[in-house]
Amino acid sequence: MKIAVNTRLLLKNKLEGIGWFTYEHFSRIVKDHPEHEFYFLFDRPFDKSFVFAENVTPLIISPPTRHPVLQYFWFERQLPRVFKKIQPDLFISPDNYNSLKSKHKNLLVIHDLNFEHFPKFLPLKDRWFLRHFVRQYVQKANHIVTVSEYSKNDIIKQYGVEPEKIDMVYNGANKNYAPINEKEKISTREKLTKGSPYFVYVGAFNPRKNIARLLEAFDLYKKETNSDTKLVLVGETMYRSKKTEFLLNTMHHLSDVIFTGRKESAELKLIIGSALALTYIPLFEGFGIPVVEAFKSEIPVITSNTTSLPEVARNAALLVDPTNISSIVNAMKKITFDEDLRNELIEKGKERGKEFSWDHAANEFWKSIEKTLKAN
């Protein structure tokens, strides 16, 4: 079989959530299934490390797709032309996008529908494009994979999709994430915070990730506890909200907030593993990989009580109302001053983390591929 895969988000040293999803699944799938030919479709020059096996043929299809007009051109004009040449038995798109003009079977991955629930957090052009086309992409798809029961039910509700058309496959976490020793913790804290304990956030600085309220809660936490605990924020700014900008100019404890920028997994392992707790409180999430990474790193987790996060965390995290500053502050206080609770959460997180594996996810994803290939 010939299987074409949209790999435009495999970007060297710039992998975000969906890029990691693509990497983790297809680095396994192509090796596990050498009997099939895979065509990886890039929109720019690619790093050779993304050609995972000899049965992968990489193709560069211009132009780079970082604007809705170019995305439309790439999926609706360029891909159909390429498909005429390679004649794939299946097209897999792991990033919510599809080709409406393709005449080949396709498997679509929808991670979440944040643009339907929080459109104001996206630039106008992206908001319009996603709300206009994703509904059509879903209807066009022969089969759909999503990453949580929450997202599956949301797709069914929003677009009227039959449940049988959607498979749920949980994400995993990079194998790098594991407990670190005390010497590594001390060294990492010395570099980051001059030895102080710290809460950590990992992810893009998108308004949907609720960074503004996290900063506001941390400022209040510092005021009420006089703790020397810091807040470390790891990630790149996509677009900041006005509220975030305001807080950064008015926070009383801004000097206790450390922005590290993007970090690769080897360094991120140390940063997460040395933290007092993960504070990950988005307003909307289709899965929440940082929660699982924290479980694997054996640190406590504070996360939101909304969307998919209670499903992923279950009883292994402190769940907070992400819109309620007091709820977030109280959780921070509990983590800081209740050692028994910290240890209890670490143990529960260790057990819950065992249920998430990229190896298992890739096997389940392959079942969805086979199901799509066999369907009429």
**Please, are residues 93 and 108 in contact by the beta-carbon 8 Å criterion?**
yes
Q: What is the percent of the chain with per-residue pLDDT over 90, rounded to a whole number?
A: 87
Domains for the chain: give ranges and CATH numbers: 2-172+358-374 (3.40.50.2000), 182-353 (3.40.50.2000)
Q: Which residues contact 302 (CB under 8 A, 6 or more apart)?
A: 199, 277, 278, 279, 280, 281, 317, 318, 320, 328, 331, 332, 335
Label residue 238 by pLDDT band (50, 70, 90). low
| Mean pLDDT within 28-34 | 97
pLDDT of residue 241: 65
pLDDT of residue 249: 76
Label residue 66 by pLDDT band (50, 70, 90). confident
Over residues 265-294, the pLDDT tens digits come to 889 999 999 999 999 999 999 999 999 999
Instruction: Report which of 9, 52, 46 is spatially closest to residue 30, judged by C-alpha positions.
Output: 52
Chain mean pLDDT for the chain? 95
Q: Which residues pair with 57 in a beta bridge?
A: 39
pLDDT of residue 264: 84
Label residue 73 by pLDDT band (50, 70, 90). very high
pLDDT of residue 246: 72
pLDDT of residue 240: 60
| Mean pLDDT within 82-94 | 97
pLDDT of residue 14: 86
User: How far is it, in rounded angstroms, from Cα 335 to Cα 341?
Assistant: 7
Over residues 298-348, the pLDDT tens digits come to 999 999 999 999 999 999 999 999 999 999 999 999 999 999 999 999 999
- Give exposure, 247-277, as e/b (b: 16+ Cβ within 10 Å): beeebeeeebbbeeeeeeeeebbbbbbbbbb
pLDDT of residue 247: 74
Over residues 178-225, the pLDDT tens digits come to 999 999 999 999 999 999 999 999 998 888 999 999 999 999 999 999
Residue 231 structure tokens: 């807040």
pLDDT of residue 296: 97
**Please, are residues 271 and 189 in contact by the beta-carbon 8 Å criterion?**
no
**Residue 4 pLDDT more than 80?**
yes
Q: What is the percent of the chain with per-residue pLDDT over 70, rounded to a whole number?
A: 98
Q: What is the pTM of this model?
A: 0.93
Q: Which residues pair with 257 in a beta bridge?
A: 231
| Mean pLDDT within 73-87 | 97
**Please, are residues 254 and 260 in contact by the beta-carbon 8 Å criterion?**
no
